[in-house]
Amino acid sequence: MYGWPSNELLGQPTHIVYPSQEAFGALSEIAGPILGSGRRLDIELQMKRRDGSLFWCRMLGRAIDAHDHSKGSIFITEDITERKQADEARKQLLLEYQAILDNASLGITFTRDRIFLHCNERFGEMFGWDVAALLGKSTAVIFPTREGFEEMRDRIRDVLRQGNRFDTETILRRKDGSMFWCRMLARAIDPSDPQTGTIYIAEDITERKNAQEELLRARDELELRVQERTAELATSNARLQAEIHERKLAEEQIRYLANHDALTGLPNRRLLEDRIEQAMELARRNGRQVAIQFIDLDRFKPINDRLGHRVGDLLLQAVAVRLRALLRAVDTVSRVGGDEFVIVLPDMQSEDAARETAQKVLQALAQPYAIEGHELTVTPSIGISLFPRDGSDAEALLACADAAMYHAKSVGRANCQLFTPDMKP
């Protein structure tokens, strides 16, 4: 886990596995009173491997004898880097979605393990809940009975595990206890991993249900009412068509948001990796190369801190526009977080062609930006990796390009660097 042979690690001071002396000292201040009182230490923090790279770790510790510190302590550590990254990515994605979802006319919610994680305002209004009060509660609160909740839970689970969309009409309960007819659509975010959660779209169809019941009764009424009922049916049909269209738009919007950055509209990391895989497959068939350019904006943070997030967001959007204008139709530009962008250049003939494109990016992004009365300048640091030379999958190519980008920063920023093996990804 720490990159040390166990025989070399024995006898070393424990601070060598911490990012800094300050981090070691901070933990000591926290852990000392806990271990000294005989309690168990349970903490998540960053640790350092032998090569200097950092990783997230869960640490459990307990003093062997709380009354005799000379006997030492026992620590158990677990690498939780992937879990922390996944949790942060999901949290950021859901926060970005919330602003858009709140404007939807249908109720939309995200759940995991049948717990409400995020809801738009319309969902809260439909069920009579304040959204903040609903978050963290079991989805059972919107069902009339516990038995009904468990039956629906099993039905949904079986459908979603097969990768299909669940679609049903059922009676649900508002906070005040009143019941209403609801159409519920559900789809797993990732059918292969239930822990990623589920998206639900809810629609109050009480009026439509009532209209259908009226139409059934109308068949038994006098022929004198037939014409009137036919007109009502036409009106209901038009309304249903409009509702179906609106649902389709909402579903399309969710599919789009799952693959694009909410701020810039660029492909997100999920879609980026798919594009890289497609480009590598084409390169294998054609005997060409794929270039990955990892871009980080120099000195973006001071601008964002000084002028505020609104100006920072507008600057990121302007950068995205310039990058789109530079590239070919077959190229992909993606925002992977903060002020970091990635460009995928398929069908590259040589390293020189990849460098040429990077130089164009350097020149274009270095031009001043006029943002809300401010003339702003940022420069990019660019790292380049090539397929198949530097890796055979998207993860490896991105890691190499990222390492080359950090090398570009270390040698003065505002330049591009091609990955070499001495740059450890």
Q: For 329-360, what is each residue's pLDDT tens digit?
A: 999 999 998 999 999 999 898 899 999 999 99
Task: Please enumerate in sequence order all residues whose Cβ is within 8 A of that of 369, keeping only pairs 6 or more positions apart, or say none.
Answer: 315, 318, 319, 375, 376, 377, 378
Instruction: Give the number of other Cβ atoms within 10 Å of residue 391's Cβ.
Output: 22
Is residue 1 in some structural domain?
A: no
Question: Same domain for 183 and 331?
Answer: no
d(C-alpha 350, C-alpha 363), whole Å: 21
Is residue 104 in some structural domain?
A: yes
Q: Is the pTM of this model over 0.85?
A: no
Is residue 343 in some structural domain?
A: yes
pLDDT at position 100 over 70: no
CA-nearest of 59, 64, 63 to 76 is 59
Cα distances from 79 to residues 25, 114, 268, 332, in angstroms, run 21, 27, 26, 33
Rounded mean pLDDT, 298-309: 94
pLDDT at position 240 over 90: no
Question: Same domain for 104 and 247?
Answer: yes
How far is C-alpha 119 from the geometric centre of its chain's CA atoms? Answer: 16
Question: Same domain for 12 and 107?
Answer: no
Burial of 7 (0-12, 13-18, 19+ CB in 10 A): exposed
Q: Check which CATH number belongs to the domain holding 61 and give it.
A: 3.30.450.20
Question: Same domain for 67 and 152?
Answer: no
Question: Same domain for 281 and 317?
Answer: yes
More confident residue, 244 or 111: 111
Question: Same domain for 228 and 123?
Answer: yes
Q: Tens of pLDDT along 271-294?
A: 999 999 999 999 999 999 999 999
What average pLDDT does the chain have?
89
pLDDT at 4: 86
Ranges 245-249, 304-308, 328-332: which has the least confidence: 245-249
Is residue 262 in some structural domain?
A: no
Is residue 396 in some structural domain?
A: yes
Q: Which two tokens stand for residue 311?
A: 């100006």
Of 17, 47, 79, which residue is a domain's last?
79
Is residue 425 in some structural domain?
A: no
Cα distances from 48 to residues 21, 88, 160, in angstroms, run 12, 20, 40
Confidence of residue 101 (pLDDT cuts 50, 70, 90): low
pLDDT at 298: 94
Of 79, 97, 130, which residue is a domain's last?
79
Rounded mean pLDDT, 44-64: 89
Question: Same domain for 139 and 218?
Answer: yes
Q: Which two tokens stand for residue 211?
A: 């209209």
The domain total for the chain is: 3
Of 47, 79, 111, which residue is a domain's last?
79
Domain interval for residue 213? 86-257
Q: Check which CATH number belongs to the domain holding 292 and give it.
A: 3.30.70.270
d(C-alpha 238, C-alpha 244), whole Å: 10
pLDDT at position 409 over 90: yes
CA-nearest of 396, 405, 399 to 425 is 399
How many residues can be counted in the chain? 425
Confidence of residue 97 (pLDDT cuts 50, 70, 90): low
Is residue 69 in some structural domain?
A: yes
CA-nearest of 310, 320, 325, 322 to 373 is 310
Confidence of residue 137 (pLDDT cuts 50, 70, 90): very high
Question: Same domain for 191 and 128?
Answer: yes
pLDDT at position 236 over 80: no
